[in-house]
Amino acid sequence: MIKEFSILVSIVLLLTGFVFIHYLTHNGVSSQKTLSSISKITEISSPSLSVAYYEPRVLFYEKTLNPAYPQMQAMNKMDLVYEQ
Amino acid sequence: MNEILLSNEVIVYLLSETVLYFLLFIAFLATIGLLKRWNFDAFTTEQFALENRSYLVMTIIFFVMMLKVVLLPYFVYTIDNLSDLIPGAMCGAGVVKANEYGNPLLALKIIILFLSALWLSMNSIDLKEKNYPYLKLKSWFFVLIFFLLSTEYLLDILYFTHIETTNPVSCCSVIFGQTGGANGLPFGLDIPKLLILFYLLFALVVLTTVSELAVMSIIASLLFGVIAYYAVVYFFGTYIYELPTHLCPFCMLQDHYFYVGYLLWGLLLLGLFLSIDAAIMQSFFKQPAKSLKRISLLLLSLFVLLCSAYVAVYYLKNGVLL
Amino acid sequence: MNNNAFLHFLTLLLFKQKGKHIGAVLISVIIIFLLSSVLFISSSLQSMLLGTLESQSDFTVSRVQAGKAINTPSAWMDKVLEINGISQVAPRIYGRYFFAPREESFLLVGVDLFDEQSSKELRSLVKGLDLKSFLSTDSMLVGEGVKTFLSEHYYKEYFSFKTPQGSFKKVKIHQALPSGTNLIANDMIIMPIELAREIFGLGEDEVTDITFNVPNDAEWDNIIGKLHLLFYDVRVVEKREIVKAYENLYNYKGGLFLILYLVAMVTFMLILYQRYSMVYSTERKEIGILRAVGWSIKDILKLKFYETAVVVLVSFVLGVILAYLYVFIWDAPLLSQIFLGGANLPNHVSFVPVLEFGLLGSIFLFYAIPFLAAVLIPAWKIAVTPPKEAML
């Protein structure tokens, strides 16, 4: 093994180590607890999607129509990707 | 569109299978050419090209085989993940049962793995000789494996496109459980007899392998495989789950049980395969296979120890057996 | 062959000819980076949302008319309570409030603050919340996105809601919710339930919908049947439907992305095939020399395989690490908008790191198998070059 290669390998290993340390030391439990408690208080667990006025904000409960053109099917833009 | 086909794992799995199948198809075409025109005694450019081409076949099969070994656990993992999407399924068992292609597919995968590993050991002894004595044999063998692989690929596609996400499937406790007092064990066995058979067959495998009784060793290994499957599902599994009514070969693959299933089934399959492989190498090709045997015995002993350890640990912790 | 010498030769070769590999490594890193960023975001969101679902009620019922959910009479609560096996029946009042001038909307949620549990939960969530002063005047708690939006529009202390009756309701902005709740509460306004009822113009006997629990899950199907017998214009949403939907939701996005990515992957394979065919054909002489000094075809294939394996592994690790940094440390600017939308209030979510072995394995298989397969045939072609021919 030549020196350059060992340097490359050690750089890669160092980066991996850094990522693992970050992964192991992050405080996932407390952020999960914060989310759980807000959804417990409000009884709403839908993600806060930044949706336009004709799209449903609370998934699975709301169905909205385009007020400008009621005959038209709701465009539900995020629905294309957020299947209901 | 079927939701199943949008699952990440399914896409990755099908892509991998397709790429591998494409390579195998190239290898298959090359093999047909080899079989038609191979003549080792000829000194033509064509023969020389064919010898080179046999290296391509070999490389492809080696490569595909290595990846199939990885893809089998990945397939099981995929199925296990799908159990969240299919109503009623708690683990892989229900998903495999979701249509009639699941069980043959899983069985075929294991058989193919066995056969192609056999091909590899055949190949390695072929390369040691100077005049490729087994080339015809291994080429025909590959043609056979290729047909199995084609079936497998077809089943893969049929299986994943025919899973219904609306029809509920049965949970593992229904499939394997003794509902209505029926005994799920074959040959009229009960648990004590099954266990006696399990340990006796293990002893038989060890004895036949050590004393180099090739044919007996193959038979013993196959029998041990069957009995070990039932023993794990109907007895040792209950200690892994610590629940006497939980009978399932798939649930132990979940994180809840620390993925011990992958280790358990991996040890069993690998150990069985190596012991059969060693026996075949010895009896048909007259090749010494000391290290193969040693490894296979080691793996099988680890398997038996692991199974027994679950029972022992449970007994030590709780002071009773289930 | 001495293994150490082989390793030395392999690494020497890699570095002497780094120009040959650097292109492939760069493209691979970009491909893996994009792929794993998307999958990291979706799996992180999925696990965060599924985690919050655990504290949710099992069922929600609302009245429907012409397929649309309308206000539910609160008398239904008593009827629901009469069914055996049901507990914790609670009303919900929520809805969107449109900030007309800019067509932005907030999600107004009424919370029963006299309920022991939710007030306790709220106090532990919002540090330094004085419930007494909160309840003494009409006040609300706002999400971070709402807070920024309102202060940009000079509503520093108070905001005036317009009720359907045409009157204005002045509500004090009491405090902002912690930024950890952004995923759910970015555009949320929490206020006492009576105040929300007034702003939405709901009658005393109306609520938006009703939630309840059924502790025994074997009874779930039974309960649904009973509800449909009790009311004819009812829609029942189960929690397990939502779990499945969330599961699908992110499969859908990741999966759609993966399917589109297949095209890129196939192109990548073609490029690699071409590139390595070309690169290897310039190596003919070198391979010829190796063959002449006694290397077998197998040895050369081994050399090429290890070379490719190093390229694959290094670019995989680099790509994944970059994606990790981008998603979990810099919170995925730009890409997160695909998942969270950008039509309303801007949202800034910090993703909780989720590294699943299965996900990493999927990414690796998706990338490594096509890569290795594409290089296999060019490598074989060069390995079987006869030494004599190569010298010409």
Residues A62 and A24 in one domain: no
Domain final position from A29, A45, A61: A45
Is C317 near chain A, with CB under 8 Å?
yes
Contact flag C190-A41 (C-beta cutoff 8 Å): yes
* Residue from A14, A23, A43 whose CB has the most chain C CBs within 10 Å, to mutate: A43
B94 touches B88 (CB < 8 A):
yes
Could you tell me the pLDDT band of residue B7, with boundaries at 50, 70 and 90?
A: confident
Q: Are strands C104-111 and C188-192 parallel, antiparallel or unpaired?
A: parallel
SS (H, E, C) B129-165: CCCCCCHHHHHHHHHHHHHHHHHHHHHHHHHHHCCCC
Q: Are strands C59-65 and C209-213 parallel, antiparallel or unpaired?
A: antiparallel
Chain A, 3-62: which have a CB under 8 Å from a chain C CB? 4-5, 8, 12, 15-16, 19, 22-23, 26, 28, 30-32, 34-53, 55, 57-62
What residues are paired with C68 via a beta bridge? C65
Residues C84 and C39 in one domain: no
Q: Which of B156-170, C1-15, C22-36, C206-220 has the lowest mean pLDDT?
A: C1-15
Residue of C nearest to B21 (CA): C373
Residues A35 and A59 in one domain: no
Collect all residues of chain A within an 8 Å Cβ-Cβ radius of residue C145.
48, 50
Residues A63 and A34 in one domain: no
The average pLDDT across B236-254 equals 85
Which has the closest alpha carbon to A61: C149, B213, C197, C64? C64
Residue showing tokens 């180099």: B212
Domain final position from C213, C229, C256: C213
Dig out the tokens for C271 from the structure: 């490029």
Is the pLDDT assigned to residue A67 strictly greater than 50? no
Dig out the tokens for C128 from the structure: 């330094």
Residues A35 and A58 in one domain: no
Residue showing tokens 């999966």: C255
3-state percent helix, strand, coil for chain A, nearest multiple of 5? 50, 0, 50
Contact flag C365-B26 (C-beta cutoff 8 Å): no
Residues A40 and A67 in one domain: no
Is the pLDDT assigned to residue B12 strictly greater than 90? yes
Number of domains chain C is built from: 2
* Residue spans of alpha helices (H) in C94-180: 116-125, 131-136, 144-152
Residues A5 and A36 in one domain: yes
- Out of C121, C248, C328, name the one closest to residue A40 (CB): C121
Sign of dihedral through CA atoms B41, B42, B48, B54?
negative
C224 part of a folded domain: no
Residue A13, C-beta contacts closer than 8 angstroms, at least 6 positions apart: none
Tell me the shortest Cα–Cα distance from B7 to chain C, in angstroms: 5
Residues C92 and C173 in one domain: yes
Residue B291, C-beta contacts closer than 8 angstroms, at least 6 positions apart: none
Percent of chain B with pLDDT over 90: 35
* Residue from B4, B8, B67 whose CB has the most chain C CBs within 10 Å, to mutate: B8
Residues spanned by the domain of A37: 1-45
* Residue spans of alpha helices (H) in chain C: 3-16, 18-53, 75-82, 116-125, 131-136, 144-152, 182-185, 193-200, 220-230, 239-281, 284-292, 297-324, 335-340, 357-383, 387-391
Average pLDDT, chain C: 88
Residues C79 and C43 in one domain: no
DSSP C326: I
Predicted pLDDT of residue A65: 47
Residue C239 Cα to chain centre, angstroms: 19
Chain B, 2-31: which have a CB under 8 Å from a chain C CB? 3, 5-9, 11-13, 15-16, 19-20, 22-23, 26
* Residue from A23, A29, A42, A65 whose CB has the most chain C CBs within 10 Å, to mutate: A42
Which has the closest alpha carbon to B8: C366, C3, C32, C192? C366
Dig out the tokens for C286 from the structure: 């070198």
- Out of B8, B55, B63, name the one closest to residue C258 (CB): B8
Q: Are strands C139-142 and C168-176 parallel, antiparallel or unpaired?
A: parallel
CA angle C286, C289, C293 (to 5 degrees): 145
Residues C147 and C36 in one domain: no
- Out of C361, C379, C383, name the one closest to residue B74 (CB): C361
Tell me the shortest Cα–Cα distance from C302 to chain B, in angstroms: 10
Contact flag B9-C358 (C-beta cutoff 8 Å): yes
Residue C235 Cα to chain centre, angstroms: 28
Residue of C nearest to A28 (CA): C352
Residues C45 and C162 in one domain: no
Collect all residues of chain B within an 8 Å Cβ-Cβ radius of residue C265.
15
Give the span between the Cα atoms of C272 and C266, in whole angstroms: 10
Residues A31 and A53 in one domain: no
C285 part of a folded domain: yes
B82 touches B163 (CB < 8 A):
yes
Residues A32 and A51 in one domain: no
C385 part of a folded domain: yes
Residues C289 and C180 in one domain: no
Residues spanned by the domain of C366: 3-52+245-391
Residues C198 and C330 in one domain: no
B204-240, pLDDT tens digit by residue? 999 988 888 888 888 999 999 999 998 998 888 888 8
The average pLDDT across C215-240 equals 87
C157-205, pLDDT tens digit by residue? 999 998 888 889 999 999 999 988 999 999 999 999 999 999 999 988 9
Is C21 near chain A, with CB under 8 Å?
no
Which has the closest alpha carbon to C187: C154, C128, C146? C146
Give the span between the Cα atoms of C112 and A32, in whole angstroms: 23
C181 touches A34 (CB < 8 A):
yes
Give the Cβ contact number of residue C181 at 10 Å: 27
Residue showing tokens 């798939």: B250
The average pLDDT across C263-286 equals 89
Residue C281, C-beta contacts closer than 8 angstroms, at least 6 positions apart: C382
Interface size, chain B vs chain C, as Cβ–Cβ contacts under 8 Å: 87
DSSP per position, B190-231 = -HHHHHHHHHHHHHHHHHHHHTT-HHHHHHHHHHHHHHHHHH
Residue of C nearest to B26 (CA): C377
HSE at residue B71, side-chain half, CA atoms within 13 A, is: 30
Q: Is B287 helix (H, G, I), strand (E, B) or coil?
A: coil
Contact flag C258-B12 (C-beta cutoff 8 Å): yes
End-to-end CA distance of chain A: 55
C361 part of a folded domain: yes
C72-100, pLDDT tens digit by residue? 999 999 999 988 889 889 899 998 898 87
Tell me the shortest Cα–Cα distance from B279 to chain C, in angstroms: 27
Which has the closest alpha carbon to C59: C95, C88, C82? C88
**Dihedral through CA C62, CA C66, CA C67, CA C71, nearest 10?**
-20
The average pLDDT across B91-98 equals 84
Contact flag A60-C245 (C-beta cutoff 8 Å): yes
C237 part of a folded domain: no
Most confident region among B88-92, C98-102, C121-125 by mean pLDDT: C121-125
Residues C83 and C14 in one domain: no
Give the span between the Cα atoms of B271 and B27, in whole angstroms: 29
Is C382 near chain A, with CB under 8 Å?
no
Is B67 near chain C, with CB under 8 Å?
yes
Sign of dihedral through CA atoms B250, B252, B254, B256?
positive
Is C262 near chain B, with CB under 8 Å?
yes
Tell me the shortest Cα–Cα distance from C284 to chain A, in angstroms: 24
Residue B27 Cα to chain centre, angstroms: 23
HSE at residue B315, side-chain half, CA atoms within 13 A, is: 7
Q: Is C7 helix (H, G, I), strand (E, B) or coil?
A: helix
C225 part of a folded domain: no
Dig out the tokens for C278 from the structure: 């070309």
Contact flag C340-A15 (C-beta cutoff 8 Å): no
Tell me the shortest Cα–Cα distance from A73 to chain C, in angstroms: 13
- Out of C243, C256, C384, name the one closest to residue B6 (CB): C256
Collect all residues of chain A within an 8 Å Cβ-Cβ radius of residue C67.
63
Dig out the tokens for B246 from the structure: 């939980």
- Out of B15, B20, B52, name the one closest to residue C384 (CB): B52
Sign of dihedral through CA atoms B222, B226, B231, B237?
positive
Is the pLDDT assigned to residue A72 strictly greater than 50? no
Collect all residues of chain C within an 8 Å Cβ-Cβ radius of residue B163.
none
B144-186, pLDDT tens digit by residue? 999 999 999 999 999 999 888 777 887 777 777 655 455 667 7
Interface size, chain A vs chain C, as Cβ–Cβ contacts under 8 Å: 186
Residues C263 and C381 in one domain: yes
Is the pLDDT assigned to residue C14 strictly greater than 90? no
Which has the closest alpha carbon to C28: C327, C366, C264, C319? C319
Give the span between the Cα atoms of B237 and B246, in whole angstroms: 8
Return the higher-pLDDT residue of A75 and B310: B310
Is C289 near chain B, with CB under 8 Å?
no
- Out of C358, C377, C384, name the one closest to residue B77 (CB): C358
Number of domains chain A is built from: 2
Q: Is C89 helix (H, G, I), strand (E, B) or coil?
A: strand
For C373, phi then psi, to 5°, come to: -65, -35
C221 part of a folded domain: no
Is the pLDDT assigned to residue C247 strictly greater than 70? yes
Tell me the shortest Cα–Cα distance from A30 to chain C, in angstroms: 9
Residues C154 and C264 in one domain: no
Give the span between the Cα atoms of B297 and C220, in whole angstroms: 51
Is C266 near chain B, with CB under 8 Å?
no
C130-165, pLDDT tens digit by residue? 888 888 889 999 999 999 999 998 998 999 998 888
Return the higher-pLDDT residue of B288 and B109: B109
C298 touches C323 (CB < 8 A):
no
Residues C182 and C264 in one domain: no
B152 touches B24 (CB < 8 A):
no
Residues C31 and C135 in one domain: no
Residues A18 and A34 in one domain: yes
- Out of C55, C60, C249, name the one closest to residue A36 (CB): C55
Residue showing tokens 């994180």: B255
